[in-house]
Amino acid sequence: MVTQPLLTAFDADHLHLRNRVVLAPMTRSRADNPGTVPNELMATYYAQRASAGLLISEGVYVSPEAAGYLNVPGLYSPEQVAGWQPVTSAVHARGGQIFAQLWHVGRMSHPDLLGGALPLAPSALDPEAQVFTPSGFQSTVTPQAMSLAQIEKVIADFAQAAKNALAAGFDGVEIHAANGYLFHQFFNGTSNTRTDAYGGSNEHRARLLFDVLDALRAAGVDLGRVGVRLNPSFYGLFGTTLDADTIPTFELIVRRLSADYSLAYLHLCEPFTDVSQVPFAEPNIAKRFRPLYRGTLIINGGFGQEEGNKVLADLVSFGTHYIANPDLVERFAQHQPLAPADKDTYYVPGAHGYTDYPTFSEG
């Protein structure tokens, strides 16, 4: 039988992976307690998926102000740090490696999720989207344009959360700079109309990401344990639109990450929607960006076994397939069929639709 590239080992710096299959970061909203502390159920969920070469956690808030969804765990309180320890231990006990995805939603929030405060954003521009609050879906509001002091606080929060993640036993962290959230809001001129050092030019709009990476390094975090996730052609979701500067800004970011930062990896998403007719979008992300990046590349978005085995990247991350197939690696190895995921249980509390999907041999 021909060896599948996805099932071969991968070694680079701090990554020692049994295979090239990565669990993509997925919010599952199971931290349904007042302190949003990770729990035993979550440890079971990640342990079930630990045969992936690398696991990336769900998005994890770096501070209470970073929040935009219910029951999402954080990495800012001592209780949360303690709550993650059984999760990372369970993954390590099964031979996996796990990174924490560090998240700030920016304007994709609501005062009802922020103790009455306005969400933070580069500029006071309403994404005109819907967010899920304790009283159900509500329209977003016009956020507050962040002051320089507020930007500095966010940078410090990321550095502290990265240190907390390592203290909790994570092998590294991924900066969530994708999908229309805070970093992405800074990158795009359609959501960032600032005229200071964080807006106005491609370099200025990219700056927050590099400030955060520099702050992590200054805090003693080895950048070989840090990944960055980008979704350059993300369009039409969460109020995200593109302009002529969008893809050039991502090119600038990727070139600079490649030249000046020895990261664990760059994690790129192919477009989530059909962008073939969208002005300024790049439909082939791996093809466009692979030549610009010299380090480890993870690619994501719509991959299955066959496409994953052919792709132009070192590692491939799988999202939806992993929800209903905890043994995805074994299914790939044995060429077994994949089970479908139930969308109704993506974000609801409890074990159903979370830890009760059987492996192929159990099913």
**Between 26 and 161, whose beta carbon lies closer to ligand FMN?**
26
Chain residue at closest Cβ approach to ligand FMN: 319
Q: How far apart are CA 86 and CA 214, in angstroms?
A: 30
Which residues fall within 8 angstroms of residue 116, CB to CB, at 6 or more apart? none
| Token couple for 156 | 């410090």
With beta carbons less than 8 A apart as the criterion, state whether 221 and 166 touch: yes
Q: List Cβ<8 Å contacts ≥24 apart for 317-320.
A: 317/22, 317/23, 317/24, 317/56, 317/267, 318/21, 318/22, 318/23, 318/24, 319/24, 319/25, 319/26
Closest contact distance (angstroms) between CB of 320 and ligand FMN is 4
Closest contact distance (angstroms) between CB of 125 and ligand FMN is 22
Residue carrying the six token digits 């996805």: 6
Closest contact distance (angstroms) between CB of 174 and ligand FMN is 8
Q: How far apart are CA 79 and CA 35, in angstroms?
A: 8
Q: How far apart are CA 263 and CA 265, in angstroms?
A: 5
With beta carbons less than 8 A apart as the criterion, state whether 283 and 244 touch: no
| Catalytic residue of the set 69, 181, 261, 347 | 181
**Between 58 and 171, whose beta carbon lies closer to ligand FMN?**
58
Closest contact distance (angstroms) between CB of 304 and ligand FMN is 8
**Between 200 and 330, whose beta carbon lies closer to ligand FMN?**
330
Residues found near ligand FMN in the complex (CB under 6 A): 24-27, 58-59, 101, 176, 178-179, 229, 269, 300-303, 318-321, 346
Which residues fall within 8 angstroms of residue 310, CB to CB, at 6 or more apart? 5
**Between 122 and 271, whose beta carbon lies closer to ligand FMN?**
271
Q: How far apart are CA 224 and CA 166, in angstroms?
A: 13
Closest contact distance (angstroms) between CB of 91 and ligand FMN is 17
Which residues fall within 8 angstroms of residue 347, CB to CB, at 6 or more apart? 27, 28, 29, 69, 70, 71, 132
**Between 22 and 141, whose beta carbon lies closer to ligand FMN?**
22
Q: Which of 175, 333, 324 is nearest to 257 (CA)?
A: 175
**Between 237 and 278, whose beta carbon lies closer to ligand FMN?**
237
Closest contact distance (angstroms) between CB of 248 and ligand FMN is 23
**Between 99 and 145, whose beta carbon lies closer to ligand FMN?**
99
Told to judge if 181 belongs to the known catalytic residues of this protein, a careful annotator would answer yes
Closest contact distance (angstroms) between CB of 256 and ligand FMN is 21
Residue carrying the six token digits 């969208």: 278
Which residues fall within 8 angstroms of residue 75, CB to CB, at 6 or more apart? 60, 61, 62, 81, 84, 100, 102, 161, 164, 165, 168
Catalytic residues: 181
